[in-house]
């Protein structure tokens, strides 16, 4: 059996952690408060950091910036797709009243269909993955603080 790629494996781990966190919040009835979703960025960031670290170790400690970025963004996108699928299932089948509970938190008269809610969750996941990967890759970017790098500054 072929081993899973690093981004796929870590994407699955990130998704499991996100789902577990969401279900933990739902036990206490806190999953209807969007403020708690800020911790999703911490979970995603930690998973992407570990994915890039594992990818770097697999490549012997050196890799191109683009390859590391691709590994991180792929892990985040895999996690987002899996979590969005779970969220759609949870909202439509497991707890159909969740959509109404979540929308009433904003005290609005708008009708938000389930598709728009799921699309928003996916969009937030993709954006978080992109931004967090950009931030984490700064740790792995090669420095220009060398004698060769100083030749290219003013």
**Which region among 59-63, 89-93, 104-108, 118-122 has the lowest average model confidence (pLDDT)?**
104-108
Q: How confident is the model at residue 97 (pLDDT cuts 50, 70, 90)?
A: confident
In a domain? residue 153 = no
Nearest Cα to 79, choosing from 121, 113, 115? 121
Domain-located, residue 149: no
30 near 99, Cβ under 8 Å? Answer: no
In a domain? residue 148: no
Tell whether 151 is covered by a domain.
no
Whether 152 is in a domain gets the answer: no
In a domain, 84, yes or no: yes
Looking at per-residue pLDDT, the higher value among 149 and 133 belongs to 133
Which residues constitute the domain of residue 46?
6-142
Q: What is the mean pLDDT of residues 32-46?
A: 87
Whether residue 107 lies inside any domain: the answer is yes
Q: For residue 154, is it within any domain?
A: no
Count the domains in the chain: 1
The pLDDT confidence band at residue 1, using thresholds 50, 70 and 90, is very low
């Amino acid at each position: 059996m072929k081993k899973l790629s690093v981004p796929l494996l870590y994407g699955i781990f990130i998704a499991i952690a996100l789902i577990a966190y969401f279900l933990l919040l739902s036990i206490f009835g806190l999953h209807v408060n969007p403020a708690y979703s800020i911790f999703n960025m911490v979970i995603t960031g930690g998973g992407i950091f570990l994915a890039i670290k594992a990818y770097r170790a697999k490549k012997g400690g050196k890799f191109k910036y683009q390859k590391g970025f691709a590994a991180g963004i792929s892990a985040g996108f895999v996690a987002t797709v899996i979590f969005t699928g779970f969220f759609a299932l949870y909202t439509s089948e497991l707890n159909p009243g969740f959509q109404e509970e979540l929308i009433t938190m904003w005290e609005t008269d708008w009708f938000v269909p389930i598709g728009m809610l799921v699309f928003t969750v996916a969009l937030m996941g993709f954006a978080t993955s992109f931004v967090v990967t950009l931030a984490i890759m700064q740790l792995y970017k090669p420095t220009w603080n060398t004698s060769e790098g100083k030749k290219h500054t003013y």
